[in-house]
Structure 1
Amino acid sequence: MSDLLERNDLQVTDESEVLDALVSWLKYDWDNRKAYTISLLGRVRLGVLPREKIIDFFENQLAVFEDQLAECRALYMDFMKFYAVGKKSFVSTVLVEKQHLIFTPRIACESAEALVAIGYRNQCFEEDSNGLSEIAISIAGQNRSGHAVAIANGNLYCAGGYCQGLYRLQGSFVKYNKQDHKWNDLQQMNYERSDFGFIYLDGYLYAIGGTKMPQIRNQPNNLNTSIDTVERYNISTGSWQKLPCLPHVLNPSTRPSIAIFKHCLIVAGYYSSQRQYGAVHNHLVMLFNTKTNTWHTLHANNLDSEFHELHVYISYETIYLVAYQMVASKYSATSQWKFCPTVYKCQIGTECSMDVETPNPTFTIGDKISQQYVPETNMRVFRIGKEVYVILRGYVYKDCQ
């Protein structure tokens, strides 16, 4: 039950369904389950519920928790202080930082008010029920490419990239203000980077790997190079923190693919090494434990020498590796299909703990999943069962129509 409540991808309309389900589960066998009340309640995202729902829950159902009345009342009082002093006060900030999980919305039940597209020609658009409209002319006043975007707690963030034309790398970090439709500057990243992995987890935004550009452009053998630096932004304190570097440097031609597994980040990609008979692609899968701030290499061998991309996708705690290769087209003898997918179902050993250090977590690559009915397209498409997915700039999207 604890693992279920912690999952970020629960398919619920809102958090009220989770809270009601927990109460029903406790009442069903109260004598044997009452000892878990407080620990399980701490895994419900109470902080995203309306104030009225919180008050109704504690006032009307508190009698159920008779044996743990003091602990429940203490949590209730914390919420009352939170509502009384305002969300931006010091007291509220401390509470959010201490109980960041209960204030973090689940991915599956975040309501999307708008679809946002951020381009490099100083134009940003959003699409909602009223149609397409321009929302902000400038991101830090410059044309930009290779940047990364992420959504955290309903806010839109944009980081890094490089200036078009000038080819100058950026370490800037901005947040979109929905009230005045402007980008507000935040503390810059410690490292300038473009085409990097960017993801939100448990109160932090993680910037992983990416590329840096040569100081002099348009020179022979003067290409982008990969970087292995990692850092994260603490939303509560508004500051960046340097983290241990990637154990392996990824190829600069594709940005790192990242997925969330419990409280860990799974990073996938590949790097090329020169051998006597040409380049060999070594496919990498790495795990970062956000509790212990440590990296583990799960896989560092060839899946297939022809694969030139590797992505990771996680659904219901099942890990999928998605690789692409170039094959002959089924429709033309003279053309090729650049993005033919191969999908592997994988598993991490149960000995891998999120709260303590696991020296060598086991990682098993299982059978391939049939991609027989995937259409031949220039998009990075794959399927799992009846669901169809598409990969755009390192992110996996489901049910695209």
Structure 2
Amino acid sequence: MDVTNEEHSNDVLRELNDLREQAELTDVVLEVEGRSFPCHRAVLASCSPYFCTMFTSSYAEAKQERVSIKDVSGVAMATILDYAYTGCLQTEPDQVQDVMSAARLLQMSFVSCKAAEYMEKHLDMCNCADVLMYADMLADSTLTDASERYIASRFNHVALQPSFLKLSLPLLQSLLDRDDLMTNSEDDVVQAALRWIGFNEEERLQHLPALCRSFRHSFISSNQHVEIQSKCPSTDSKLVYSKSTTQRLGQMRSEMQISLKKVYFDDDSQLSACCYDPSTGGMYAIDMPDNLKNGFSVTVTPEDELYLAGGINSSWNGMKTFKTFYQYNHLLKTWERRCDMISPRAWSGLVYLKGYIYAIGGYDTKVAAERYDPSRDEWTSIAPLPHPMYMLLAFCAVTLDDSVYVISKEGCYSYSTTENMWNKIADMIQPPVHLQAITYQGRIFCIDCKKECRESSRTCVEMYDPTNGLWKQSGNGKSFIFEQSATLMKHGGTLYLITVHDGNDQNHWTWGLPKKNKTYVHQYQPETDSWLLVEEKGRLVPPLKWLRYDSRIDYLVARLIPSCLGDWTVDENLPLAEMLAEEGEQSDNTFSDPSGNGITDDSEDDLSDQGDSDEDNSDEERESGSDDGDI
């Protein structure tokens, strides 16, 4: 007979643990920080080479009934013993380092590795410098490398943490020598080093010449050079700088458009956001967090930090919101969880204003609003909205000056950050259905993106001026026709309106996705309050092959690092170049001059101001536009 009882090992451990808890048949007591732990020598020896050597050698402890263990905390020993008797490792986050230290001393590799993995996965701006010092003390190269890489990814923020000032000189030099520091200028690197010196200037000023060897001379401003020289401990010595002529990774940013597809129906295709560099025509991708579907919102800060909130985790028949909140780590290409919002919300308005992130309304919240403080990783409630804001694409939130503005069909409001109060403002002239709003040169611009299936739609840009509190139709009421989508976008300090149209006849329809689209771009002229058609073929917007009639593209603009982004693929994972080749499109990487070159007065031949009788000649007029692969 050959039979295996798969429950035997678990049953034995369970019985041994019961005996330990009752102090029955135990043959040794471990004394740790005044606490006594009755144990079985055989169990300890089977789990720990440290105890195995202790109990099977000629050491005095082998015969002692009570053994004192030094350099281990009582809480850590309790955790270690629970694991030894149950196979389950559980500890509080603030005890992980103690448990890892104890596991290394007791030579319990599984526990040590899992503790290190936990610390690596839970690195943040507040603890990463502490973890680096701890990993360096233990000579754990894997955890050291992970900590340094995380610090590099958040360098400017970590350098402001108190723990950063406690780094040893070798650790600081190792960080300052890295090419992948996420800093906007070399002056940021110098300032971080000078703050470290200033923490204990009497002792640390002597290290300035050594730190200078990490500074990249050609990228330091003249004012910063003067400050460095003024702190030099000896006027006779000449400071020697790094020979590297390579910019830090954070300084290799390029202004890109981040395209976010908003859909009206359930859709699983939003796996990544398209990032497009008009200066090169390059297309890249930012992967979205796992399990993210509809209902999310994204905002960008002036420091190019991306935040994402909300989401729907199921279909329209059983919608369920979850209150996730993330910050994007450019270097590590990951979305890092931040403090959950107070209220679960999806389709909320997410905006940044003067150091805070505001989450406005959304599904299941309707009137709730809250504010996030990145420096404290904390959400707090603010005054509720006067009117529910929750339907998909039915409202927009923007910021201007010191206020947050909410625009909707039911009404428009402004929130005063100083008074914590919502105030009614003028309603739009034409109440929008599916709207998009954007701020530009002290005003709010808004369009209605409502699109009927397989029919052309018309939109007019309305402009709100907070100085007089009035809405007006921009461009003297000029209207724009679109068949796929319409969206406002800022790039290079200029405001554009993009409309997408069917590029094929009606026989080429495939579930709302024509084989080719045509894209028209109008540039706003603030001096004359007019919209002019961009005729010169350039690369203002990427090919929008993945846009459907039931979706809309929202654009964010941020300075991103091409080498830190993924490759963008479309059309069932066909690479963009292959797709363009299949459709016979030519790549044109030239960029239209935002100063006005390539812009023409479009009163004669663009898709606007056509009146109700323009349907018969619309095909002829569309020929004046450009194919979407060439814009």
TM-score range, shorter chain: 0.5 to 0.7
- 2:222 corresponds to 1:56: yes
Summarize deviations over 1:102-131 as a string: whole Å, max 9, x none.
xxxxxxxx8437857689558336656796
SS in 1 for 2:222: helix
| 1:201 Cα deviation from its structure 2 partner | 1.7
Q: 2:456 aligns with which of 309, 332, 337?
A: 337
Aligned residue number for residue 112 of structure 1: 255
| 1:314 Cα deviation from its structure 2 partner | 2.5
Determine if contact 1:120/1:164 at 8 Å carries over to the other structure: no
SS in 2 for 1:168: coil
Tell me the distance in 2 between the aligned counterparts of 1:366 and 1:372: 11
Kindly name which structure, 1 or 2, has the bigger radius of gyration based on alpha carbons. 2
Counting only pairs closer than 5 Å after superposition, residues 2-401 of structure 1 correspond to structure 2 as 50-51=186-187, 56-57=222-223, 111-112=254-255, 115=258, 120=268, 123-124=271-272, 127=275, 136=287, 139=289, 141-152=290-301, 153-165=303-315, 167-212=319-364, 227-250=366-389, 252-271=391-410, 284-300=411-427, 303-304=429-430, 307-323=432-448, 336-338=455-457, 340-349=458-467, 363-367=469-473, 369-370=475-476, 372=478, 374-381=480-487, 382=497, 384=524, 385-386=530-531, 392=552, 401=631
SS in 2 for 1:207: strand
CA RMSD of aligned residues (A): 4.3
Instruction: In structure 1, list runs of 5 or more residues that go unmatched.
Output: 1-46, 62-72, 74-109, 213-225, 272-283, 330-334, 350-361
Determine if contact 1:309/1:324 at 8 Å carries over to the other structure: yes
Tell me the distance in 1 between the aligned counterparts of 2:473 and 2:305: 39
Given residue 386 of structure 1, which amino acid in structure 2 is its aligned partner?
W
**Relative to structure 1, is the Cα distance of residues 316 and 178 closer, same or farther in structure 2, using a 3 angstrom cutoff?**
closer
Given residue 255 of structure 2, which amino acid in structure 1 is its aligned partner?
A
Tell me the distance in 1 between the aligned counterparts of 2:476 and 2:336: 46
Tell me the distance in 1 between the aligned counterparts of 2:274 and 2:556: 20
Instruction: In structure 2, list runs of 5 or more residues that go unmatched.
Output: 1-182, 188-216, 231-252, 262-266, 488-496, 498-521, 525-529, 534-539, 542-550, 558-593, 595-627
TM-score, normalization by structure 2: 0.35
SS in 1 for 2:387: coil
| 1:228 Cα deviation from its structure 2 partner | 0.9
Determine if contact 2:463/2:473 at 8 Å carries over to the other structure: yes
Determine if contact 1:116/1:124 at 8 Å carries over to the other structure: no
Tell me the distance in 2 between the aligned counterparts of 1:372 and 1:201: 31
SS in 2 for 1:288: strand
Corresponding residue pairs, total: 263
Summarize deviations over 1:257-279 as a string: whole Å, max 9, x none.
122211212210123xxxxxxxx
Tell me the distance in 2 between the aligned counterparts of 1:116 and 1:368: 25
Which protein has the bigger strand share?
Answer: 1
**Relative to structure 1, is the Cα distance of residues 113 and 304 closer, same or farther in structure 2, using a 3 angstrom cutoff?**
closer
**Relative to structure 1, is the Cα distance of residues 200 and 393 closer, same or farther in structure 2, using a 3 angstrom cutoff?**
farther
Given residue 272 of structure 2, which amino acid in structure 1 is its aligned partner?
C
| 1:393 Cα deviation from its structure 2 partner | 5.8
TM-score, normalization by structure 1: 0.53
| 1:135 Cα deviation from its structure 2 partner | 5.6
Which protein has the bigger helix share?
Answer: 2
Determine if contact 1:231/1:243 at 8 Å carries over to the other structure: yes
